[in-house]
Amino acid sequence: MAIKLEKKIVSYNVVKEEDEAAPVVAASAEVKADEVADVIHMHEKLERPEMLLGSTYKIKTPLSEHSLYVTINDVVLNPGTDHELRRPFEIFINSKNMDHFQWIVALTRIISAVFRKGGDVTFLVEELRSVFDPRGGYFKKGGKYMPSLVGEIGDAIECHMRMIGLLKDDGLDEHQQALIAEKRAQFESATAQVEASDEASDFPAGSKLCGKCHTKAMIMMDGCMTCLNCGDSKCG
């Protein structure tokens, strides 16, 4: 297509490929900057949505015949984008037991205020789990020791934070994995040797070690531990 020049050419320069790409790069940078500017972070002025996602955790302790129910509601930030996040927004604790009503209400309000403040709220878990009951702790179902009721509330919050991805499990490093593998191999080797010695023994499987002849030949006979090798008996 021919272009008619109506004015004199005063100056000229050669357009390079990188010069043509520069406006495109600048435009994409502006788009990314706009996207980052539109990302919503957790802060105390964030209004509560009409509907929140929540999870309820049951806490049954030997301290009371009534269970506690810990409900944690989450707000979803930047839904449908690459910056979508699920963060705890509020917490409620309910129970038929009214003995701890005042401090439980105070605790829920304080924790909810910390959630809405934003930032790193994972410190709450360690703070709550470090509270010890002067009357002593207890073991929850599964054998895990709880220093107090407040500590178990912190444990429930930790479980929730791990579920939504706010806390991640710290995996074992390569040295710890190598040590565990070595100890497992040693245990399996020792177990195999014991099983082999039991199979090669002339005495019944499961025989105990005799304190006199040091042979695994002690068995229960007529209500008394008796050695089938040397005849030693606990009954004389």
Q: What is the pLDDT along the chain (236 residues), one digit of tens a residue?
A: 567 767 777 777 776 666 655 555 555 545 444 445 577 777 888 888 899 999 999 999 888 889 999 999 999 988 888 888 889 999 999 999 888 889 999 999 999 999 999 888 999 999 999 999 998 899 888 788 999 999 999 999 999 999 998 888 766 677 877 887 888 888 888 777 666 655 566 777 778 888 777 778 788 877 788 888 777 887 76
Question: In DSSP terms, which residues pair with 87 in a beta bridge?
Answer: 75
- Is the Cβ–Cβ distance between 181 and 170 less than 8 Å? no
**DSSP state for residue 105 in the 8-state scheme:** H
Chain centroid, CA 159 distance in Å: 6
What crossing angle do the helices spanning 149-163 and 101-117 adopt, rounded to 10°? 30
Q: Which residue has the tokens 């015949």?
A: 65
Cα pseudo-dihedral 172, 175, 177, 181, rounded to 10: -160
pTM for this predicted structure: 0.58
User: Which residues in the chain belong to E strands, given as ranges?
Assistant: 53-59, 68-77, 85-95, 138-139, 145-146, 208-209, 216-221, 224-227
